[in-house]
Chains A and B, each alone.
Chain A
Amino acid sequence: MSDTPDTGAWRRLRARPSAVVAAAVLAALALLALGAPLLTALEGQDPTTYHDQLVDSARGGVPYGSFGGIGADHWLGVEPGTGRDLFARLLYGARVSLSVALGATVVQVLLGVTIGLAAGLGGRLLDAVLSRFTDVLLALPMLVFAVALTAIVPAGFPRPLLLILVIGLLSWGGTSRIVRAQTLSLRSRDHVAAARLAGRTPVQIARRELLPALAAPVLTYAALLVPTNIVVEASLSFLGIGVTPPTSSWGQLLSTATTWFRADPLYVLLPSGCLLVTVLACTVLGDAVRTALDPRERSRLAVGTRRAAARPPKGATR
């Protein structure tokens, strides 16, 4: 019985079949992305070579053969117009999508926790300045701003890194707001007062009394940030402002797919499917993490958070 209060969460998480399936899907995806060079070598293809002989230039570049040219050489067919191998492009696209999303999440969490803690623990003035700043950031439609920012960055800047920075720097607001609110609520608890009476310094109090309690909500929020970031990356690439050819990403594939959906439906369905499965698995897992991490805590916190409920994590990209 003398285990920590947190160990139950792991058990609750594993008890949900949907969470287990989602985790398995994500693990498989990560393996596929990591093993992309190996797998494409096995197929005997690469993501950048053009195969003009495989597309029907008379019909505007539709691949020969049924289902987008699926065959032994090209497992998932070829890209219309260019004839590049679709399997290879999807796998390499996964690398971009996943690494950008994870990288951006790390930036968001680091910034959000630092700024949220500073606002929650600092003086009135610091809190006012940082909170106002966070408000501005949260108010901005992220996608518009991200799109606009890419206009002023030199063309030579590595695109995946640019995407990580743009997404990360523009949307740490949610994390910082959660951390600040939690810090304020924790700070008013009596065990923090007791630590002060024990002679602990503010830094010691932050490290010992606050940070451990912040881990759960931050982890929960971060888990839901990943799918949002995947969609944002895909959206930027879809608008033609993300990664630049010949690098592929799912969003960029879908962007070219808009002109082909009548002639080659599979070219739409494959990247859509990949994106959808990934985002759905992330969301399901994130949701499960949230429920697993002390559902009682959540319902207790919910009492005063009806206003907060009006501002869910920003994810709507239209």
Chain B
Amino acid sequence: MTAYVLRRTGGALLVLLLLSVTVYALFYVAPGDPAKLACGPRCNAEQIAQVREQLRLGEPLPLQYLHFLQGLVAGRDYSTGTGVLHCPAPCFGLSYQNDQPVAQLLASRLPVTASLAVGAMVLWLLLGVGTGLLAALRRGGATERVLTVLTLTGTATPVFITGLLLLMIFCATLQWLPFPTYVPLTEDPEQWAWNLLLPWTTLALLESAKYARLTRSATLETLAEDHIRTFRAYGLRERRIVGRHALRGALPPVVALNAVDLGTMFGGAMLTESLFGLPGIGRLTVESVRTVDLPVVVGAVLGVGAAVVLAGAVADVLYALADRRVTLP
């Protein structure tokens, strides 16, 4: 088991390294002139040359990448005309817009994204696993058919449609909920939750459909296994069989999927954040793309990549722990 964890972690680190090379190459090498972008539209040739010097864009590419890696691990200093700007590790560079270190920018948006992710996860687990179990227990009946249609609609509906409809109903027409604005948890927990309720619901409606389908199919698959027949043949009640044996078998894929999803969520829910105007990491990414603020874009992509890759590794390890039957690859 330890060997597997080590191997999996090693694999994840390798993937991250590969990812950083790809992303770096794509964003700093392929398109036009980063110096021009960094300097802004009103710069003259001299200023651009100065910026190129500051960003060390004259160096050979592999060296540039090494500096970039070095910045990630140990931090990096940028000299400007007036002084030195320090960018502490992990340094993805400085924003072209306001010279802030990208990591700092990302960190400042993290609380919003985290609030969104955790709250939504609680909702989608409750809703999804519950619905899935119900569908598995009422298999073949009208309940299952209704639930199937509902979950199918859920997965098929993009968040911005769900969100818009919810906004129209609960904020505009019924006026039960405020138009969401972000209130920090530390400031006013009640307002925090009240404002996030709609975004949470929007995300949960989308995600829970996926979990419902997964829970249902995994439960049914387990119910069809031979050991369930054994317990039926030994006089156990159906309720106990489902609760103790079938659900246990259905758990590993749900746990694994949830780890991956939570990881992805920390990369920001771009659509939800944009729709509800929440200043999270996803919205930051979209804004940076509009302004072609490359360091922020690269930082966001790498940050999300890291979160997802690590979550994937955690998911695999959790899966191996939860389902001892799998032979470790």
Contacts and interface: CB of A to CB of B under 8 A. Distances in A.
Contacts of A251: 160
Given A135-B312, A136-B22, A312-B213, 14 more contacts: A139-B312, A144-B282, A144-B300, A148-B300, A238-B158, A241-B290, A254-B160, A254-B161, A258-B160, A272-B161, A279-B156, A306-B323, A315-B155, A318-B207
A145 B22 CA distance: 12
Interface of A: 132-133, 135-136, 139-141, 143-145, 147-154, 227, 231, 234-235, 238-241, 251, 254-255, 257-258, 261-262, 265, 268, 272, 275-276, 279-280, 283-284, 287, 302, 306-307, 309-312, 315-318
A143 B160 CA distance: 14
5 contacts: A133-B18, A151-B27, A151-B289, A258-B160, A315-B155
10 nearest CB pairs, A to B: A152-B31, A318-B269, A310-B256, A151-B289, A310-B253, A279-B156, A272-B161, A280-B156, A262-B172, A309-B253
Contacts of B315: 310
A239 B27 contact: no
B160 A151 contact: no
Contacts of B301: 140, 144-145, 148
Nearest to B120: A318
A207 to B, nearest CB: 29
B157 interface: yes
Contacts, number: 177
B325 to A, nearest CB: 9
A279 B297 CA distance: 30
A316 B271 CA distance: 11
A298 B290 CA distance: 45
A310 B289 contact: no
Nearest to B267: A141
Interface string B130-167: 00000000000000000000001101111111001101
B210 A316 contact: yes
A287 B269 contact: no
Contacts of A152: 26-27, 30-32, 292, 294
